[in-house]
DNA sequence: CTGAAAGCGCTTACAG
DNA sequence: CTGAAAGCGCTTACAG
């Protein structure tokens, strides 16, 4: 279909200049005269010429590309990846594009599939790692890469010594807890765990506890079982509360997936939400909007999240380090907390 | 951090062979002797050597990369992209990876952002286009690229003259309709439109009509207003039915997003699902599982979808054409149709 | 089975 | 402001 490749030499011939001048004109070198540049651009247009990026990259050593790795739970089908990470992925690609970078995306789960030698193969200038904190071997692998010099930033790492970007979990938890208090709930539980590899859970628990004590209320932790699926974690937490004779009338769940499980169990137990029980989650999952009743949540600003991750990585690459960053969050008030 | 790049010449020196032999050994050329290969691999390992893909690609003209473009509705935030396309994206990346290809991902919406010269810049060997049928300028753009020789396959195109992969919409619609009939519903509407740019909607309407007539039932179209959001389309369709005094007791919605809007409206109108009204959608959106009641749906096999798209594109690239392909679908039976 | 050499298509000192 | 030339790091005919 396509013929012999058009090169900068062809453009040079048509424009009546040397090949080096074509290159200068096209890369935007200000040294070339306006007349020359115009002629070159016109010739390139006529020949439908486009720079072969492989040659350019080989020469410059820059790829103009960022690798994005989404860490999945082992064996998880790609359609079942937490939609939170898909939203984050979309925002990262958009932010990279806005900065003039391409994004090379891969999903990785099992140890055999772990691979991150993008810089070594000169496929990318740096890596953004996002995804399930639970896949420890994956995070260990990328930590070892980082230790051997990879330019790498992440979201969701269980490690603190990474270059990370995170939701403002503390503030989000305060907002969620404060919202339940405002709505008149007093006996408010936290569905989560104190000792989680998921740092964000710890931060949310702290924000919750702090806000409770400020209001003169007693924090109450309903410990989840991390070996269960998120959904089951939420269901079991609610069953535990029912078994204890409903010692609380509201809950802040560590994440939406736990909250959605909890909501389902509340419905099955006939506990009316929000009248008898208030519930709020964290993450702003789209599915929460379709739940019954629609689930209130704390949503991070995804657009900022993408931009922060990309800018942090570019800072690393350009040796111009950026502090760890917190993504602002906001209350998504829906029916599950809307008690009069 | 990282030192001077290690090249195949360094490996050659350490292994005591020529640089061309290193290249042969590493690309797997069977002509090199086992002993030599072993020495080369060992030297490469010792030096932590990795092929510079830009140089390799420049030389071979192959990129080992597929570009995946997700077409969004103009102005749509990346977090709001229909999760269906995210699931499909994930499956495509997985399938490409299984075939040894990298995936370069971008999200495009407005006309200024449309861009697909991946082959011209030698960034990819071909393109996979997925996303919202509604963004006509985007599809027009990629059609013009295809016409000028781009290797391109798609999912969701309004055009029939593309190389496409699609759900088996006809069969899926028959399954959905047959399922409602089995559950005892008789007056079953189709929420959608006959004249849609969305070819899949047409196919679903046909499968529905065919199955209804087979059962001696009369098809009934509740026309949606394509200018509204999907959610509103579903809500309005239900309001229309209520206004007409509930002439039907079940509906097959053209897609899950319409069905979820419909479900919400049914709830607000106090129409009990599935007892008074049965509802089933199409797409297998994750959100349906959390709806109230959970929404029955027709789910395409995402894994096959990704594999088919990739294999079809590779067929095009290798001049070994593959017929248009239909992705198998299955019934996802949930509570919204579970009437005794 | 291996080596010496050409060449993929650019960018960028170096000269003028 | 422009041109001639080197070189980025590979793969692959061509010889032997």
Per-residue model confidence as pLDDT tens digits over A129-155: 999 888 999 999 999 999 999 999 999
Cβ separation of B53 and A87 shorter than 8 Å?
Answer: no
| pLDDT confidence bin for B3, thresholds 50/70/90 | low
Q: Of A69, A78, A77, A202, nearest to A131 (Cα)?
A: A69
Predicted confidence at residue B259, as pLDDT, reads 97
CATH of domain A8-51: 1.10.260.40
Which residues in chain A are contacts of B58 at CB distance < 8 A? 52, 54-55, 58
A6-13: long-range pairs with CB below 8 Å, 24+: A6/A47, A6/A48, A6/A49, A7/A49, A7/A52, A8/A49, A8/A51, A10/A47, A10/A49, A11/A40, A11/A43, A11/A44, A11/A47, A11/A49
Q: Rounded to whole angstroms, how far apart are CA atoms B39 and B225?
A: 69
At residue B1, the pLDDT reads 33
B31 touches strand C (CB under 7 A): yes
Judged by C1' against the alpha carbon of B58, the nearest nucleotide is C8
Instruction: Tell me the average pLDDT across B218-225.
Output: 93
Task: State whether the beta carbon of B24 lies below 7 angstroms from any atom of strand C.
Answer: yes
Calculate what percentage of chain B has a pLDDT beyond 90. 79
A46-61: average pLDDT: 95
* Band (B161; pLDDT cuts 50, 70, 90): confident
Q: Which of B57, B86, B102 sits opposite A54 (nearest CB)?
A: B57
**Residues B93, B15: Cα–Cα separation, whole Å:** 37
Closest-CA residue of chain A to B1 = A149
Interface contact flag, A97 B91, Cβ < 8 Å? no
Q: Closest by alpha carbon to B255, among B205, B197, B294, B182? A: B205
pLDDT above 50 for B2 = no
Question: Between β-strands B188-192 and B163-167, what pairing exists: parallel, antiparallel or unpaired?
Answer: unpaired
CA of B59 to C1' of C7 (A): 8
Instruction: Specify the CATH class of A169-299+330-337 in words.
Output: alpha beta
Q: How confident is the model at residue B107, as a pLDDT?
A: 97
Per the model's pLDDT, the better-predicted residue between B312 and B200 turns out to be B312
Query: Minimal Cα distance from B292: which residue of A?
Result: A292
H helical segments located in A77-164: 83-98, 136-147
Instruction: Please state, in angstroms and as integers, the Cα–Cα distance from residue B98 to each residue in A122, A245, B91, B94, B95, following that order.
Output: 21, 52, 10, 6, 5
More confident residue, A33 or A142: A142
Neighbouring CB atoms inside 10 A of B51's CB total 17
Residue A173's pLDDT band (cuts 50, 70, 90): very high
Q: For residue B117, list chain A residues with Cβ-Cβ distance below 8 A.
A: 50
Residue B179 · residue B212 · CB < 8 Å: no
pTM: 0.91
Instruction: Decide if pLDDT at A107 tops 90.
Output: yes
CA B258/CA A172 separation, integer angstroms: 32
Most confident of A320-324, B59-63, B130-134: B59-63
Beta pairing class for A329-332 and A297-300? antiparallel
Residue, of B286 and A90, whose pLDDT is higher: A90
Nearest to B121 among A50, A123, A289 (CB): A50
Instruction: Choose, out of A2, A105, A144, A336, the residue to mutate when testing the contact with B (most B CBs < 10 Å).
Output: A105
Greater model confidence, B252 or A33: B252
State which residue has its Cα closest to the C1' atom of C9: A55
Q: Angle, nearest 10°, between helix axes A83-98 and A302-317?
A: 50
Cis peptide before A6 (omega within 30 of 0): no
- Give the least confident one: A190-204, B105-119, B273-287: A190-204
Say whether pLDDT at B198 is over 80: no
Average pLDDT over residues A52-64: 95
Distance CA A145, CA A188 (A): 42
Mean pLDDT, residues A319-338 taken together: 92
Interface of A with B in 122-151 (CB under 8 A): 122-123, 149
Write the CA distances from B13 to B4, B19, B22, B23, B51, integer angstroms.
Answer: 16, 8, 10, 13, 16
CATH fold match for the domains A8-51 and A169-299+330-337? no
Look at A54 and B54 and tell me if their CB atoms are within 8 Å: yes
Q: What is the DSSP letter of B184?
A: T
Give the separation between CA A277 and CA A272, rounded to whole angstroms.
6
Query: Which residues have CB under 8 Å from B21's CB, separation 6+?
Result: B12, B15, B32, B36, B40
pLDDT, residue A1, reads 33
Q: Using omega within 30 degrees of 0 as the cis cutoff, is the peptide bond preceding B293 cis?
A: yes
Evaluate whether the domain defined by B65-166+302-327 bears CATH number 3.30.930.10.
Answer: no
Mean pLDDT computed over every residue of chain A:
93
With a CB-CB cutoff of 8 Å, which residues 230-259 of chain B face chain A? none
How close, in Å, is residue A59 to chain B by CA atoms?
9
3-state secondary structure of A317: helix
Return the domain boundaries, chain A: 8-51, 65-166+302-327, 169-299+330-337
Question: Residue A225 has what pLDDT?
Answer: 87
Å between A215 CA and nearest CA of chain B: 33
Burial of B219 (0-12, 13-18, 19+ CB in 10 A): middle
CA distances from A183 to A179, A249, A274, A294 (A): 6, 12, 10, 16
**Is-cis flag, bond preceding A236, omega within 30?**
no
Interhelix angle for B34-47 vs B8-15, to 10°?
A: 120
CA atoms of B236 and B248, how far apart (whole Å):
15
């Amino acid at each position: 279909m396509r013929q012999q490749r058009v090169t900068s030499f062809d453009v040079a011939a048509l424009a009546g200049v040397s090949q080096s001048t074509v290159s200068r004109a096209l890369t935007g070198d200000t040294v070339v005269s306006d007349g020359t540049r115009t002629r070159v651009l016109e010739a390139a247009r006529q020949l439908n010429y486009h720079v072969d990026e492989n040659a350019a990259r080989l020469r410059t050593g820059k790829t103009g590309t960022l690798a994005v790795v989404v860490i999945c739970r082992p064996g998880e089908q790609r359609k079942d990846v937490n939609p939170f990470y898909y939203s984050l992925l979309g925002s990262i690609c958009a932010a990279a594009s806005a900065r003039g970078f391409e994004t090379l995306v891969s999903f990785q789960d099992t140890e055999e599939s772990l691979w991150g030698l993008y810089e070594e193969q000169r496929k990318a200038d740096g890596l953004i790692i996002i995804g399930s904190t639970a896949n420890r071997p994956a995070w260990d692998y990328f930590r070892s890469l980082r230790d051997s010099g990879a330019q790498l930033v992440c979201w969701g790492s269980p490690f603190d010594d990474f270059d990370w970007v995170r939701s403002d979990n503390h503030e989000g938890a305060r907002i969620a807890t404060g919202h339940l208090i405002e709505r008149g709930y007093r006996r408010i539980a936290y569905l989560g765990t104190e000792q989680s590899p998921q740092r964000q859970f710890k931060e949310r628990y702290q924000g919750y506890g702090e806000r409770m004590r400020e209001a003169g209320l007693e924090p109450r932790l309903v410990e989840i079982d991390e070996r269960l699926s998120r959904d089951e974690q939420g269901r079991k937490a609610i069953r535990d509360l029912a078994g204890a004779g409903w010692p609380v009338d509201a809950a802040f769940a560590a994440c939406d997936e736990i909250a959605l499980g909890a909501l389902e169990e509340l419905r099955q137990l006939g506990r009316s939400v929000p009248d008898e029980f208030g519930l709020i989650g964290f993450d702003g999952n789209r599915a929460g909007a379709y739940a019954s009743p629609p689930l209130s949540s704390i949503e991070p600003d995804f657009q900022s999240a993408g931009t922060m991750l990309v800018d942090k990585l570019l800072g690393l690459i350009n040796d111009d380090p950026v502090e760890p960053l917190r993504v602002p969050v906001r209350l998504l008030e829906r029916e599950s907390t809307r008690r009069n």
